[in-house]
Amino acid sequence: MPVYVDDPEAEGAWSAGAASRWWLHHSLASLDGRLRERGSRLVIARGESGSELVRLASETGAGSVYWNRLYEPALVARDTALKQRLTDCGLRARSCKGALLFEPWEILKGDGSPYGVFTPYWKQWQKNWRPPESHPEPEQLRGPESWPAGVSLDELVLLPRQDWVSSIACHWQPGELGARQRLDAFVDLAASSYREGRDLPGCDGTSRLSAHLHFGEISPGRVASALNEAGDLPAGEGRLAFLREMAWREFSTYLLYHHPHLANKPLQERYLAFPWREPGDYADDLKAWKRGRTGLPLVDAGMRQLWQTGWMHNRVRMIVASFLTKNLLIPWQEGARWFWDALVDADLGNNTQGWQWTAGCGADAAPYFRIFNPVLQGRKFDPDGDYVRRWCPELAQRPASRIHHPLRQGESVGDYPRPIVDLMGSRERALEAYTTIRNS
Residues acting as catalytic residues: 245, 248, 276, 314, 332, 355
φ, ψ of residue 272 to 5 degrees: the values are -60, -25
Relative orientation angle of helices 314-322 and 348-359, to the nearest 10 degrees: 50
Kindly tell me which of 248 and 387 has the beta carbon lying closer to ligand FAD. 248
| Concatenated DSSP letters of 56-118 | HHHHHT--EEEEE---SHHHHHHHHHHHHHHHHTT-EEEEE--S-SS-TTTS--TTSPPPSSH
Q: Mark residues 176-215: x for contact with ligand FAD by CB under 6 A, - for none.
A: ----------------------x-------xxxxx--xx-
Q: Determine if 304 is a binding residue for ligand FAD (CB under 6 A).
A: no
What's the length of the chain? 440
Kindly tell me which of 1 and 363 has the beta carbon lying closer to ligand FAD. 363
Residue 317: closest CA among 342, 288, 282: 342
Minimum gap (Å) between residue 120 Cβ and ligand FAD: 17
Residues 345-374, interacting with ligand FAD (CB under 6 A): 345-347, 350-351, 354-355, 358
Minimum gap (Å) between residue 252 Cβ and ligand FAD: 5
Q: Where are the alpha helices (DSSP H) in 259-405?
A: 279-291, 297-309, 314-322, 332-342, 348-359, 374-381, 386-391
Minimum gap (Å) between residue 156 Cβ and ligand FAD: 22
When binding is defined by CB under 6 A, the residue of 23, 102, 125, 248 that contacts ligand FAD is: 248
The whole-angstrom separation of Cα 275 and Cα 264 is 17
Minimum gap (Å) between residue 42 Cβ and ligand FAD: 24
Q: Which residue is nearest to ligand FAD (CB)?
A: 354
Q: Determine if 126 is a binding residue for ligand FAD (CB under 6 A).
A: no
What does each C-alpha distance from 326 to 64, 72, 274, 428, 439 come to in angstroms?
Answer: 51, 28, 11, 10, 19
Amino acid identity, residue 298? L
Minimum gap (Å) between residue 177 Cβ and ligand FAD: 17
Q: Determine if 317 is a binding residue for ligand FAD (CB under 6 A).
A: yes
Using CB under 6 A, list all residues that contact ligand FAD: 198, 206-210, 213-214, 245-246, 248-249, 252, 314, 317-318, 321, 339, 343, 345-347, 350-351, 354-355, 358
